[in-house]
């Protein structure tokens, strides 16, 4: 592969990584607002509030990443894109719910203003740790660009 082609590919991947990061930051802010509102305002358990909050961000994340980050248009493939994306997201949800539940229990006696920072920090911290794995799976598996298959050379048949 030529040096110029490698640089173009690296620049394209860097752009996708930055757009994916922007989508992650936006959906993290969305889920943090929902989490704090439900946990502190509606007095739901932090774990349940986190489940609802993260589920609010998953469709936004899928659509924004599919369209803006990877430039996909048209109908998405249920088996190749939608289901794997949700499985990946629900794995992050499980990990973040454990973290938020632990922080929620640990911080139960704290002032609400401090908990309003601690709970979303636990959620965001978990997703930050998983972000690199998520990007690689989105780039290489879920939204990968299909490679053009070259036709196999025909083998001469002896008559």
d(CA 104, CA 13): 37
| Other CB atoms within 10 A of residue 118 CB | 17
**What is residue 84's three-state secondary structure?**
helix
Per the domain annotation, does 30 fall within a domain? yes
Burial 128-159 (b: 16+ CB within 10 A, else e): eebbeebbebbbeebbeeeeeeeeeeeeeeee
Number of structural domains, the chain?
1
Question: Is residue 70 exposed (0-12), middle (13-18) or buried (19+ Cβ within 10 Å)?
Answer: middle
Total-model pTM = 0.79
Per the domain annotation, does 111 fall within a domain? yes
Per the domain annotation, does 150 fall within a domain? no
Q: What is the pLDDT along the chain (159 residues), one digit of tens a residue?
A: 566 555 556 688 899 999 999 999 999 999 999 999 999 999 999 999 999 999 999 999 999 999 999 999 999 899 999 999 999 999 999 999 999 999 999 999 999 999 999 999 999 999 999 999 999 999 999 998 766 454 555 555 555
Per the domain annotation, does 42 fall within a domain? yes
Domain carrying residue 23: 13-142
Residues in the chain: 159
Per the domain annotation, does 148 fall within a domain? no
Per the domain annotation, does 2 fall within a domain? no
């Amino acid at each position: 592969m030529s040096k110029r082609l490698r640089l173009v590919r690296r620049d394209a991947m860097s752009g996708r990584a930055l757009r994916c990061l922007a989508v992650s930051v936006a959906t993290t802010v969305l889920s943090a607002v929902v989490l704090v509102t439900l946990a502190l305002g509606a007095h739901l358990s932090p774990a349940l509030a986190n489940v609802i909050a993260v589920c609010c961000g998953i469709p936004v994340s899928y659509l924004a990443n599919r369209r803006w980050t990877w430039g996909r248009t048209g109908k998405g493939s249920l088996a190749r894109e939608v289901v794997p994306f949700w499985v990946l997201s629900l794995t992050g949800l499980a990990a973040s719910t454990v973290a938020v539940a632990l922080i929620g229990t640990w911080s139960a006696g704290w002032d609400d203003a401090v908990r309003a920072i601690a709970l979303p920090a636990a959620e965001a911290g978990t997703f930050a740790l998983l972000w690199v794995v998520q990007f690689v799976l989105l780039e290489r598996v879920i939204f990968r660009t299909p490679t053009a298959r070259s036709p196999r050379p025909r083998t001469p048949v002896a008559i």
